[in-house]
């Protein structure tokens, strides 16, 4: 990765990122990476505080002349979403992320990159390590387990931070200043099923949906991308209507906050010719429907060992009907901010364990009552199919404050540094600002970041020149204070 280190300005940031990529840091498995962050602060001779769940705060005193300026908190999360292509051999709990450069963009090899939010973490560390950046007192807050429900922020206590201005480094588009975001809540739905022997003469097959882009369930939910679980359900519905099948197991998606890219079902099929004809028809119709939004879709039916047991017909139909008709995607657009999703839901994970079929969803909204209306709607829908729904991990939205001093400072710095106006926006994806802000009343907050795309998928990539601009911007904000 020598090419990343050729620019002396950004070399410190990229050095940290390359090191972070060597440490497994998937959500709920990021303890080693969090400890590594703390160790960097101690090696710099700075004050380090690490709480009982693993969140890290590192304090650096103000440079001369900035002692009386309001302090800044730089904040990022150290965990990453772990997604890989089916043919990629990678153990996220052991293997380092392999990096590759394509043009001006940095990718991983067959996996998520972790630029979300490793770039933010490493920018914060580079600020702390710098000897020539002018700044007021800085507190770097690095949280854990953001991607699985903002749990690090939820457990982070009030009274720890002392700064006035909070600079979240977890946005994904250069030139945009985020000042608000949606809240969210998870649903876990489970159904106990009856199992029986497959029909006499049936053959085993695996129905597979693949080739989809997937994506972030907040940032990409309005991009009309295919959801593999929904497409699998549509295909199973057509098969149940047109021929005799038994469903042995179901699997789809990996994360509740990622749009499912792949899904599959192990089946006992009585009429192979008819089943394959139905699958081909559904593939043709679905590809026509989603078109260039997701052109790589493939639906296949391939031989598999005949399962010993399948789900009873009544239970199988109720499961497929529930999944096929379950709400997914944009529920409502904002009436106040053009182009902003106000309320959405994502059917993210489907799995079978023995005689239990489960699925997991994430609902988001900038209006709390709308979020809870979706929760009620999903609960009622689950009940119709015999699923028991539980709702966990709710977190608040972040109310925009467009006239705050920090918004004026940051937009002014951007105009001076780059000669153009920032776009001040709210976003549909969840950020930790709302949770932390509740614990620190009066703290002013904004979020910035470099250009990155396809986060939460193996196609995740970040613009190397944009990271340079992001680094320049962070330094200029601190110096302006």
Inter-residue contact 235 to 279 (CB < 8 Å): yes
Inter-residue contact 414 to 405 (CB < 8 Å): no
Non-local (6+) Cβ contacts of 61 within 8 A are: 67, 137
Helix, coil or strand: residue 82: coil
- Interhelix angle 11-20/115-129, rounded to 10 degrees, is 130
- Is the Cα dihedral 212, 213, 218, 220 positive or negative? negative
Active-site amino acid positions: 79, 146
Residue 97's nearest CA partner among 115, 118, 80, 113 is: 113
184 pairs with which residues across the strands?
Answer: 364, 395
Spatial distance between the Cα atoms of 202 and 266, rounded to a whole number of angstroms? 12
Structure tokens at 138: 């800085």
**How does DSSP classify residue 421?**
P
The reply to whether omega before 397 is within 30° of 0 (cis) is: no
Non-local (6+) Cβ contacts of 454 within 8 A are: 213, 215, 460, 461
Inter-residue contact 228 to 212 (CB < 8 Å): yes
CB-facing half-sphere around the CA of 273: CA atoms within 13 A: 0
**How does DSSP classify residue 118?**
H
Q: What is the residue-wise DSSP string for 87-133? A: T----TTTPPPPEEEETTEEEESSB---HHHHHHHHHHHHHHH-SS-
Inter-residue contact 449 to 171 (CB < 8 Å): yes
């Amino acid at each position: 990765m020598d090419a990343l280190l050729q620019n002396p300005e950004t070399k410190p940031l990229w050095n940290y990122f390359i090191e972070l990529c060597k440490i497994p840091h998937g959500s709920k498995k990021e303890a080693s990476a969090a400890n590594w962050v703390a160790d960097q602060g101690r090696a710099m001779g700075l004050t380090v505080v690490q709480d009982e769940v693993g969140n890290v705060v590192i304090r650096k005193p103000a440079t001369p002349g900035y002692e009386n300026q309001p302090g800044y908190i730089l904040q990022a999360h150290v965990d990453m979403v772990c997604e890989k292509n089916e043919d990629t051999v990678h153990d996220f709990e052991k293997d380092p992320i392999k990096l590759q450069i394509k043009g001006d963009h940095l990718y991983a090899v067959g996996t998520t990159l972790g630029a979300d939010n490793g770039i933010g973490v490493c920018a914060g560390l580079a600020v702390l390590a710098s000897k020539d950046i002018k700044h007021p007192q800085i507190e770097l807050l690095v949280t854990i387990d953001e991607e699985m429900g903002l749990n690090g922020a939820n457990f982070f206590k009030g009274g720890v931070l002392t700064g006035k201005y909070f600079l979240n480094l977890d946005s994904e588009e250069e030139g945009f200043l985020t000042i608000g975001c949606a809240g969210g809540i998870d649903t876990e739905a489970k159904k106990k099923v009856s199992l029986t022997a497959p029909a006499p003469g049936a053959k085993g097959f695996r129905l597979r949906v693949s080739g989809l882009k997937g994506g972030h369930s907040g940032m990409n939910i309005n991009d009309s991308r295919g959801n593999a679980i929904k497409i699998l359900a549509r295909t199973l519905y057509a098969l149940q209507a047109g021929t005799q099948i038994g469903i042995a197991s179901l699997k789809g998606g990996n994360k509740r906050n990622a749009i499912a890219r792949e899904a599959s079902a192990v089946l006992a099929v009585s009429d192979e010719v008819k089943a394959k004809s139905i699958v081909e028809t559904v593939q043709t119709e679905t590809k026509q429907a989603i078109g260039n939004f997701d052109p790589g879709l493939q639906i296949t039916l391939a031989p598999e060992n005949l399962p010993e047991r399948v789900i009873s017909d009544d239970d199988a139909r109720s499961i497929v009907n529930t999944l096929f008709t379950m709400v997914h995607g944009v529920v409502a657009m904002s009436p106040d901010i053009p182009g902003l999703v106000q309320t959405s839901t994502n059917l993210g994970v489907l799995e079978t364990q023995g005689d239990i079929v489960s699925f997991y969803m994430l609902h988001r909204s900038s209006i709390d009552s709308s979020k809870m209306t979706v929760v009620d709607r999903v609960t009622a829908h689950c009940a119709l199919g015999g699923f028991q729904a539980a709702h966990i991990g709710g977190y608040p939205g972040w109310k925009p404050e467009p006239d705050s001093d920090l918004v004026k400072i940051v937009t002014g710095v951007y105009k001076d540094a780059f000669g153009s106006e920032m776009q001040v926006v709210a976003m549909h994806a969840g950020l930790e600002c709302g949770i932390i802000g509740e614990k620190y009343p009066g703290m002013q907050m904004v979020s910035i970041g470099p250009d990155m795309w396809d986060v939460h998928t193996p196609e995740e990539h970040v613009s190397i020149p944009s990271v340079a601009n992001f680094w320049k911007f962070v330094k200029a904000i601190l110096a302006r204070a």
